Amino acid sequence: MHTPYIGRFAPSPSGPLHFGSLVCALASYLHARQHQGKWLVRIEDIDTPRVESNMSEIILKTLQAHGMQWDEDVLFQSQHFDLYEQSIAQLRQNNEAYGCICSRKEYNARGPYYDGLCRSAAHSFENNAVRWKNDIGRASFLDLHFGERTVEERFAKEDPVLKRADGVFAYHLAVVTDDITQNITHIVRGADLIDTTPLHISLFSALGSVAPQYMHIPVASDSPGHKLSKQGHAPAIDNHCALDNLKSALIFLGVKPTEIKHLQSIDSLLQWAIEYWQSTSLSKETEILVSVINDVYCLKA
């Protein structure tokens, strides 16, 4: 039985979309449309202290200004706390979660990965962090672009936090729970998240679900090892330059400038990209250096 394609783009409202965000949005949008699938938008506002007022609306308007219209209603993680509690309850019922009293400073002093000190201590779940007892420990997966990928075993077998002691749900739990809820079949995202993927696939299994297929793409960086990010104050993309922004993003994704030079509208550009862009044209590097020329991002020489 054929499973319909459902993809998603999931920005956090901690700042406006930058060029790296646009590249990811465009790649996931094109991949979904090329497979006659749905493209959903999820606002990952789970980390409430970092959420900026009105930023979700700004992000959605930016996507629309660049011609990318999503299917179905936008999902907000802040409205799904009950679902995250249900996931934790399921893991607790299966004896796959435990309370942890270790602070980040304490376990970092013991090593680069959490050492499972509280696994058998039977600490209360109240007012303590909740960790997943990760006995699956998957370390590798097949990426649709990069092929077979393997992460460091100690990282793959780490017991991640599901809910912090202050009550904030962790990214790992929220993203997997929401992908299950939305029946996501394919995830296109930046290569900076590639090392978390085996952990997520393991958590899908623990929650009784089949993981989506993953395709990671190179991240946009302004210097080696320094990706464009909201935390790094990457400049917001200008909606008034949407056509040029999209052309720059397509060039980043492997399209030759001469192939799209003649296209002078957003609709014609996106239709061309849906028909002709191929993920096989993506670079096999995990990052690509970019610079800003006349307020438009270009690849660095």
What residue segments make up the domains of the chain, in order of their start? 6-288
Could you tell me the fold of the domain covering 6-288?
Rossmann fold (3.40.50)
CA angle in degrees (0–180, nearest 5) for 69-70-72: 135
- Tell me how far apart the alpha carbons of residues 231 and 25 are, in angstroms, rounded to a whole number: 18
Q: Please list, in sequence order, all residues whose beta carbon lies within 8 angstroms of the beta carbon of residue 129, skipping any fewer than 6 positions away.
A: 99, 100, 101, 102, 161, 163, 164, 165
Nearest to 217 by CA among 239, 186, 182: 186
How many of the other CB atoms lie within 10 Å of CB of 223? 10
Identify the pLDDT of residue 293. Answer: 58
Pure H helices in the chain: 19-34, 55-65, 81-93, 104-110, 153-156, 171-181, 197-206, 242-252, 257-260, 266-276
pTM: 0.93
Cα 240 to chain centroid, rounded: 26
Q: Which residues of the chain register pLDDT less than 50?
A: 301
